[in-house]
Amino acid sequence: MGRKINEMSELRDMGAFPNSVYIGASANIIFSIYLTRLIFLWGGGSIFYLLPWAVLLPSLNVLPVTLLRRREKLSNNPYPEISQMNFFRDQHRFSSWVYAVAAANMFFWIVFSWWILSFSTHLAVLFMLQICAALITFVPIWRRYHPSLS
């Protein structure tokens, strides 16, 4: 019997997520990179906007978790095993450190994208950033289906 999502205690536990979790997380990062380009262009690339944006967006991503957890305290629903979780129903039920890792990952991609966009804001650069982010955030899926990558 595997660990339940509220019992996650190490990064290795994230390797048991269903594919839908990786796809959702990757889509979130890809969209975040797109939004970062919009903010970069709106602010004229000024570094003044980077830190507020890099803090605001991950905070907004965690806000629904906070709200859903308040509602969750009123129910006694059992926690599913990591590999059996439902992306939409259970994503607010992880151990708290998982959200810190996700927020840090988003923070990284915002800062990295801002840095790359400071060299060029062409759409081709945006697409390359998004492809790079997708490939990197899909690594657990690649490893699952290609044992030679493990």
Residue-wise pLDDT for 61-84, tens only, equals 999 888 888 877 667 778 888 888
Are 5 and 93 in contact by the 8 Å Cβ rule? The answer is: yes
* Per-residue pLDDT tens over the stretch 48-57: 999 999 999 9
Residue in the block written with tokens 């990179």: 33
Dihedral of CA atoms 27, 21, 111, 66 in degrees, nearest 10, equals: 110
Q: Where are the domains of the chain?
A: 16-149
Burial class (CB in 10 A: 0-12, 13-18, 19+), 15: middle
Instruction: Check pLDDT > 90 for residue 41.
Output: yes
Mean pLDDT to the nearest integer, 84-93:
81
SS3 content of the chain, % helix, strand, coil (to 5): 75, 0, 25
For residue 144, what pLDDT band results from cuts at 50, 70 and 90?
Answer: low
- What is the pTM (predicted TM-score) of this model? 0.85
Three-state SS for 21? helix
* pLDDT for res 128: 97
